Amino acid sequence: MGIRDINLPTTGSSPQFASGSAMTQPDGFASRGPFPVERVQLIFPPMVFSKFQSRQTALYPLGLGYVASTLLGAGYDVDLMDCPSEGYETLIDIGKDRYVYGLTEDQIRERIKAYKPQVLGISCLFSTLENRMLMVARIAKEVDPNIVVVCGGPHVGAFYARICQDPAVDFCIAGEGETVMLDLLNAIQGKMPFSAVPALSYSSGGLVVDQPRSSWVQDLDVLPHPARHLVEMHRYFEIGKTQGLRLDGNTHIRVAQMTTSRGCPFQCTYCAKNVTWGKSYRTRSAANVLDEIEHLVEEYGIERIAFQDDNFTADMGRAEEIFDGIIERKLPIAWEAHNGLGVNFLSPHLLDKMKASGCGSYTIAVESANSARLRKVRKPNYIKLAPPIVEKSKELGIEVRGFFMIGFPGETLDEVWRTVEYARSLRLAVSAFAVVTPLPGTVLYKECVEDGLIDEVTVDFEDLSFGAFDLQLSEVPVEQLKCIRKIEWLKTVFLDDEGKFKENLAMDPLDMVEELQNGMALFPDNAELQSLHLKAIAYCAASGIETELRSAV
């Protein structure tokens, strides 16, 4: 551990290292000294989304939920504020076709005033939320300068050095935060030195103290289940906007998100999972996972589980135990896995188990049909493995979606179309194309900075959206990549294999209208979109919703 003399990216200088000691005190604590902590408030900030490229969602903040349950178990009083869901209907136009939704600044301020926390933790799950996180931090300091503000989450793990130099931020936690937060609260109360808290960063006399992580939680079963009782769970069911577009038309099904593991066995250069979970793959036991599912069914009437692991089936034996347990316990749930499964961690036998245990839908993460590109970004090659797995899944009646990436550094238009044609050949329920985006904390981001493609002085993190990023990495114009991305997505959702509008489309009509409207708004002169629009009008006329579509597009 040590003290790093770190200048903010605006100077462009390299960090200078200095030695630290157990006597080092964070700014504001040298004169204040230890004090008791009883109340901790945890806040997920308002969400930013690109108007035509992404959608509003309402998802329980699992990361904060785990921190909350850990603190409750240690005897602290905890409040959890999920700004996006609590203020879901409040939309604020911030320009550049972006909106912020969630609780307003005044509402956040009043909640902090009412609860009177001694410590306030803010999660920054995405880089696009950095400004919102700092807004919440500044509100807290305005309410009471003595509130200790702690920031965490994937983006903070990548940029702790500059974030903890913001006057409104006292501490940054890099990576998983349950045990670190407990140690930090002990340090605030004088029960241990700040220098003994791993994965912690803070300012001290103009320097940045960066204390590296010494370990990760190896036995995930020791962590209590997320504290869902701290929020109004029915709010998520009422909003009905979960991860991914629902193709079954059931927008108000009682869905709960879960993670059963942390990390992934692979080291893809575009993925930031190492910042949060480290390089290893760690799992909860099947029994522990099943106990949580059982609790969700009994306590909240959950009908569907959305597994959000980075690679849910990477331990195939454990996955099979979970599927067998769902059957043996007669748990009345369906489940889905839309974060992306590794095709090499699927088999005909496992697919049979998945179907029997209630799997309705999952996503495969193939990414590219170009072997050379996959090798360069260290992504396992699933090109030949995917077709038989997809075919077997279809035979079982499981909906399969796919993740693909276009616009890799140096990628040609021919390579992009090779991936598009490959995706079409799989005939997936949805083909989701992402324009390659260098996320902070990834090897790809570091390479872009080193190559002068990203200027950390001027970069706007709100630009880091998979469908709205404008950095030219490939040989294909970014606008062309965005158009391909949108059109291919819409075609898989709305058209059958013969190019006809799908019969008996179960989507919520309002979702259908929104998606078509977004496509037309982005590319009004595109012939393929115009054709798709006409087919949609004909479909709506036959289905009795012609007026809605005509008025919306």
Q: What is the pLDDT of residues 236-269, one digit of tens each?
A: 999 888 876 666 666 678 999 999 999 999 999 9
Closest CA to 165 of 121, 209, 196, 131: 209
202 conformational bin, left if phi > 0, alpha if psi -120 to 50, beta if neither: beta
For residue 15, pLDDT over 50 is answered with no
d(CA 500, CA 535): 8
All structural domains of the chain with their residue ranges: 2-26+33-211, 243-475, 495-553
For the stretch 19-59, pLDDT in tens is: 345 567 898 887 788 999 999 999 999 999 887 667 788 99
CATH 3.20.20.70 fits 243-475, yes or no: yes
Spatial CB neighbours of 470, under 8 Å, sequence gap ≥ 6: 463, 478
First-residue to last-residue Cα distance in the chain: 57
Q: Would you say 353 and 323 are in contact if contact means Cβ atoms under 8 Å apart?
A: yes
d(CA 366, CA 344): 11
For the stretch 126-146, pLDDT in tens is: 888 999 999 999 999 999 999
Structure tokens at 182: 């407990």
Cross-strand pairs, 68: none
| ∠ CA 194-197-200, rounded to 5° | 95
For residue 8, pLDDT over 70 is answered with no
Q: Rounded to two decimals, what is the model's pTM?
A: 0.91
CATH 3.40.50.280 fits 2-26+33-211, yes or no: yes
Please list the alpha-helical segments (H only) found in 226-369: 233-239, 273-277, 286-300, 316-328, 348-356
DSSP assignment of 309-325 equals -SSTTSSHHHHHHHHHH
d(CA 220, CA 309): 13
The distance between the two most distant Cα atoms of the chain, rounded to a whole number of Å, is 75
Q: Would you say 413 and 475 are in contact if contact means Cβ atoms under 8 Å apart?
A: yes
Q: Are strands 200-204 and 207-211 parallel, antiparallel or unpaired?
A: antiparallel
Q: Is the dihedral of CA 255, 260, 261, 262 positive or negative?
A: positive
For the stretch 283-320, pLDDT in tens is: 999 999 999 999 999 999 999 999 999 999 999 999 99
Cross-strand pairs, 46: none
- Write b or e for each residue in 242-252: b if 16 or more Cβ atoms lie within 10 A of its Cβ, otherwise e: bbbbbbeeebe
d(CA 404, CA 436): 9
Q: Would you say 174 and 201 are in contact if contact means Cβ atoms under 8 Å apart?
A: yes
Structure tokens at 378: 């260290």
